[in-house]
Chains A and B, each alone.
Chain A
């Protein structure tokens, strides 16, 4: 129906032209102005029934009693108007809609013959008649039930020969018929009565779509189609000098190019890699989603009874359930620092179990990869300062919601050098977050099992008007570094954040499932802008 026509009409494509030409004659019937009426009746579509003489108003003609007069299909007429509009300022067409009430076929019948209940009432003789016969009277069972509801008739259940229908009132008035008559005469009804008639499907609400048409500034009865494209022939013959050209429509969008797209989260990943590289950080290997509890927890001085090592928080593996190898000398040093202390530490003083350390899991953070990288660094003959980073997936056996998934990306940076201070950590965090477009920072004391001091990084969120956590950071504990064999005066400052959170903020995404995983909204991927975090 109309909407399709309207949509194609927007572009006034050449496809429309033949139709326009074919019905140019019909259109000329409007002469200077006219009204094309359309209809969108709720059921099927009754024909618009308004009739009467045309009269002039505000310089435009408002014809009544057509298009039936034109004998032209409504859709065709709408197409013709669209075509005329596409020619430029030939006509001005203003879309209008109006609703009106019309009688349904059943309504017409009631108007003619009376309502079923009245017809039934009038058919019942003085002495009444058996119920079985009453429902066969004009008006039928519908009329019977209505008449009963109105208490116009009554049922004598005890009558001889079965229930008998009798008149309960001397006379009745057919208000239904009267109301329908009022509608037909163009009058209006109170809302309640109208709703009742609508419910009985005697009245229909009809939406009337029409165009109010006037002469345009370039009105002409001779339709000349302006050219839309400059062709080689026009240039060769010079005809372009005389031909009218259609102006470009700058208000509509152009044709989108066929192209591929990068995923927004991974665009942010690229940007963060770039930031780390600009800051001189080297990328750590992280290509093992499967990790032993040893590297994920024990090496990081996270005690074996720590809640994070609970089944509720971590995915443990059924197969391969255990890591075949732990680094021999190093793991015994880790055992000692946990159970007895050392390196100036009291330790946690519990029975450290190698079976617990062997348990395989899906890494819960990339800090396990940092531990491996630092262990490799400690095995170098001579210590050299390093700056490391990684961005990769981590896994948590958590309950899922709009902002939490079982897997996400962790961003991690660390600096290992002699004489690093908490002030250095804050300094490098400021540089890093400034590149992310976050300049207002403050730091809150916090607790991490493997860093001390530890700091949560907060940034002022202009939208939320409050400080929100943007990352976690700290200085690695000596109980972590010294068993690896790093020199005593080497400090490691480190920080981490998730990749998803800044991405969701950057791209205004509220539900993480629309961003990550197969339920991604591909349209969002297609539409996502480039990732420039610092502007």
Chain B
């Protein structure tokens, strides 16, 4: 769940009133947010690096707010405030307008076919006559970072670049070139580097090194030029210093490149709907023409409004309430879904704004109605569903057997299903290939290399960890092991095993033998060759 941190004072200023921390926490809860932490920069630094380092840091109160992972429109102060103000019916959701410049006057972004192999999609937009302040600027940068970490999947799907349009000249070209052919001064650097040098430069950068792998081994790197050959950015790694946004920047060129066009459009829509608020003509965005390698042109941002029709009784039935159509329309409008009743009250027409990319089905609309109604105002009802319960035979058997084993004086252990390869092979003097063990591709440590094929290592390790306990130790476990099996749909299956162990100063084989006899006795298996059980010496 993404966490957005906002200055409390700025938040209350924008909300037009102040709240106690408890009141704001309550409001968040109701709306589906979580006021995770109340802190300050000073607190954060002091916690991470010690009090000494925190000296002089700001003690302005920060709210850290957890936002649902699909609500990209709430990832910055601007969006949070808009969402809450509409929810509280203090404002109406603004209508976002795309302004298409006259023929030949707008910006163009031309995509060359070289991008196809690495990062084929690009979309762009312009924010005109914007006024930044320090806080707005910080929020603008922060939103991009939040989007990068979430919907953009750490820049793999989409990467955002924002530029001072007055420092560059269109039309812009999005292409891909060999690393040695790309040379520019990256953001916050004082000299030019080639793309290969840039990769070396950021190999140890705590932030950027995580993105290098996205293009590193590709023959060509993505790059955006202006008409004079100035590099805007080398997505998804870094922008150029030349077109850097400053506090006094008035016109912003925003480009999003990526491997998923749907997500790129959502990201662009999100950035412009959040920050067009600060344009001279608020909530307007200047469109950019994007020319694809096949010659087709598209106008971005999409800023698409979509209309859905939902029957009021559908919402009522799914939530378990009985609201009038007009009341439901009002509830939805409070969730940024402008709605009205149509057709003699048979339908509610709902307008999905470009900020609500998360609404993809009527069930999403139902949820918003329920949130606005208040989850905790819904009448709780026990379902009338009448069913007879059945236990899974294997689990029922396990439950019965473990009680009998405890009654026989053994103590139940609960060990991990994952272990090292050594645990199930070398240490048991078995070859790993003979185990048919399932192997894990990406274990963080040796403890998670394989799924166990036997319960014995877990019990032995339990004893090793409890050597301070008085003897004897008598342990058992009934649990699943996993082995490969090509006849199942996933290629592996579980088996339920029973393992018991007796640990004392003298071997006492007869004790573990006696337990086996007892288990067989309760299972009604007699100790004979014909129709019962026998034990034999094992090889090795």
From A292, A406, A419, A454, B448 is in contact (CB under 8 Å) with A406
CB of A288 within 8 A of CB of B390, answer no
Which residues on A are within 8 Å of B, measured CB to CB? 258-263, 265-266, 270, 273, 276-277, 279-285, 287-292, 305, 307, 310-311, 315-327, 341, 343-350, 360, 362, 385-387, 393, 395, 397, 399, 405-407, 415, 417, 419-424, 426-428, 430-431, 442-447, 452-455, 475, 477-479, 491, 493, 515-523, 525-526
CA separation between A322 and B490, bound complex, in Å?
7
B164 CB, nearest partner CB in chain A, Å:
31
Residues 389-418 of chain B, each 1 if its beta carbon lies under 8 Å from chain A, else 0? 111101100010011011111111111111
Could you write out 7 A-B pairs with CB less than 8 Å apart? A280-B386, A281-B387, A315-B441, A315-B443, A320-B484, A343-B361, A421-B319
Residue ID in chain B nearest A421 by CB atoms: B320
5 tightest A-B CB contacts, nearest first: A423-B320, A421-B320, A445-B32, A320-B491, A447-B68
Any A CB within 8 A of the CB of B496? yes
Contacts of B476 in A (CB 8 A): 260
Interface assignment of B99: CB less than 8 Å from any CB of chain A: no
Known A292-B490, A516-B414; 5 more pairs at CB < 8 Å: A266-B412, A287-B394, A341-B360, A442-B375, A479-B361
Known: A287-B394, A287-B496, A289-B494. A422 touches B319 (CB 8 A): yes
Looking at B88-96, B235-243, B362-370, the stretch in contact with chain A turns out to be B362-370
Cα–Cα distance between A50 and B489 once the two chains are bound (Å)? 87
Q: Given that A273-B399, A423-B319, A444-B32 are contacting pairs, would A360 and B409 also be in contact in the complex, using a CB cutoff of 8 Å?
A: no
Indicate whether A517 sits within 8 Å of B363 (C-beta atoms), given known contacts A284-B392, A305-B153: no
A360 and B490 contact, CB distance less than 8 A: yes
Q: Are B385 and A415 in contact (CB under 8 A)?
A: yes
Contact at A397–B444, with CB atoms within 8 Å?
yes
B465 contacts across to A, CB distance below 8 A: 518-520
Q: B440 to A350, Cβ gap below 8 A?
A: no
Query: A406 near B451 (CB under 8 angstroms)?
Result: no
Are B320 and A290 interface neighbours, CB within 8 A?
no
Which residues of the partner chain A approach B462 to less than 8 Å between Cβ atoms?
518, 520, 522
- Given B320, B370, B412, which contacts A424 in the complex, CB threshold below 8 Å? B320
Q: Which of B32, B260, B360 contacts A350 (CB 8 A)?
A: B260
User: Which chain A residues lie closer than 8 Å to B346 at the CB level?
Assistant: none
- In Å, the complex CA distance between A310 and B153 comes to 9
Q: Roughly how many angstroms separate A493 CA and B361 CA in the complex, as a whole number?
A: 17
| B418 touching A406, Cβ below 8 Å | yes
* Chain A residue with Cβ nearest B376: A442
Cβ of B443 and Cβ of A445 under 8 Å apart?
no
Q: How far is the CB of A280 from chain B (nearest CB, A)?
A: 5
| Known pairs A265-B414, A345-B361, A478-B361; A319 contacts B484 (CB<8 A) | yes
List residues 67-107 of chain B with CB under 8 A from any CB of chain A: 68-71
- Pick the most buried of A292, A322, A395, A526: most chain B CB atoms within 10 A of its CB: A395
Q: Would B489 and A317 count as touching, CB distance under 8 A?
A: no
Interface locus among B47-55, B110-118, B191-199, B466-474: B466-474
CB of A270, distance to nearest CB on chain B (Å): 6
Question: Are B382 and A427 closer than 8 Å at their CB atoms?
Answer: yes
- Does B29 sit at the interface, judged by CB under 8 A? yes
CA distance A287 to B483 in the complex (A): 12
Taking A261-B412, A280-B387 as contacts, is the C-beta distance between A444 and B473 under 8 angstroms?
Answer: no
Q: Which one of A279, A287, A323 lies within 8 Å of B494 (CB-CB)? A: A287
Q: How far is the CA of A341 from the CA of B438 in the complex (A)?
A: 35
Closest chain-A Cβ to B37's Cβ sits at a distance in Å of 13
Q: Is B388 an interface residue when CB atoms closer than 8 A count as contact?
A: yes
With contacts A407-B416, A518-B415 known, is A262 near B403, CB below 8 A?
A: yes
Q: Among the interface residues B363, B469, B493, which one has the most CB atoms of the partner chain A within 10 A? A: B363
Smallest distance from the beta carbon of A391 to chain B beta carbons, Å?
9
Give the interface centre of A310, A316, A349, A518 by most chain B CB atoms within 10 Å.
Answer: A518
The 8 Å CB contact of B490, one of A290, A346, A386, is A290
Judged by a CB distance under 8 angstroms, whether B167 is at the interface is no
Does residue B281 face the partner (Cβ distance < 8 Å to A)? no
Closest to A269 in B: B399
Evaluate contact between B363 and A452: CB separation under 8 angstroms: yes
* Bitwise interface map of B from 254 to 271 toward A, beta carbon under 8 Å scored 1, else 0: 000000101100000000
Known: A291-B490, A447-B69, A453-B370. A317 touches B388 (CB 8 A): no
A362's partner among B263, B376, B413, B440 (CB-CB below 8 A) is B440
Known: A283-B390, A290-B490. A319 touches B439 (CB 8 A): yes
CB within 8 Å for A260 and B489 given contacts A280-B388, A287-B494, A424-B381: no
Q: Is the CB of B461 within 8 A of A525?
A: no
Contact assessment for A452 and B367 in the assembled complex, using a CB-CB cutoff below 8 Å: yes
Contacts of A452 in B (CB 8 A): 361, 363-364, 366-367
Q: For A454, what are the chain B residues with a Cβ–Cβ distance below 8 Å?
A: 367
Chain A residues contacting B360 (CB-CB under 8 Å) are 341, 345-348
Instruction: Evaluate contact between B492 and A320: CB separation under 8 angstroms.
Output: yes
**Contacts A266-B412, A319-B439, A421-B319 known; A260 to B382 CB distance under 8 Å?**
no
Question: In the complex, what residue of chain B is closest to A292 when comparing beta carbons?
Answer: B490
Please report the C-alpha to C-alpha distance between residue A454 and residue B108 in the assembled complex, in whole angstroms. 42
Q: Nearest residue in B to A307 (C-beta to C-beta)?
A: B153
A323 touches B489 (CB 8 A): yes
Q: Which residues of the partner chain A approach B320 to less than 8 Å between Cβ atoms?
A: 421-424
Chain B residues positioned under 8 Å from A346 (CB to CB): 360-361
B contact residues around A323 at 8 Å (CB)? 489-491
CA distance A256 to B137 in the complex (A): 70
- Say yes or no: is B482 at the interface (Cβ < 8 Å to chain A): yes
Chain A residue nearest to B68 (CB atoms) is: A447
> What residues of chain B lie closer than 8 Å to A318, measured between beta carbons?
439-441
**Which residues of B in the span 338-380 have a Cβ within 8 Å of any Cβ on A?**
360-364, 366-367, 370-371, 375-376, 378-380
Of B371, B381, B394, B469, chain A has the most CB atoms within 10 Å of the CB of B381
Residue pair A447, B70 in contact (C-beta under 8 Å): yes
Q: How far is the CB of B133 from chain A (nearest CB, A)?
A: 32
* In the bound complex, CA of A260 to CA of B484 (Å): 34
Q: Is the CB of A305 within 8 A of B411?
A: no
Please state if B413 and A263 are interface contacts (CB–CB under 8 Å). yes
Residues of B within 8 A of A424 (CB): 320, 381-383
Give the residue of A260, A445, A475 whose beta carbon is less than 8 angstroms from that of B407. Answer: A260
Say yes or no: A288 contacts B488, CB within 8 Å: yes
- Which residue of A is nearest B402, CB measured? A262
Do the beta carbons of A443 and B375 come within 8 Å of each other? yes
Residue with the greatest number of chain B CB neighbours at <10 A, chosen from A277, A443, A477: A443
CB distance B381 to A423 under 8 Å?
yes
Question: Is B380 a contact partner of A316 (Cβ separation < 8 A)?
Answer: no
Q: With A and B bound together, what is the CA distance between A424 and B490 in angstroms?
A: 35
Which one of B381, B413, B480, B492 contacts A421 once the chains associate, using CB atoms below 8 Å? B381
A515-B416 Cα distance, complex, nearest whole Å: 11
Asked if A453 contacts B409 (CB within 8 A), the reply is no
Q: Which residue of B lies closest to A279 (CB)?
A: B389
Q: Does B277 contact A (CB under 8 A)?
A: no
Query: Quick one: which of A263, A270, A420, A430 contacts B380, CB cutoff 8 A?
Result: A430
CB nearest to B486 among chain A residues: A324
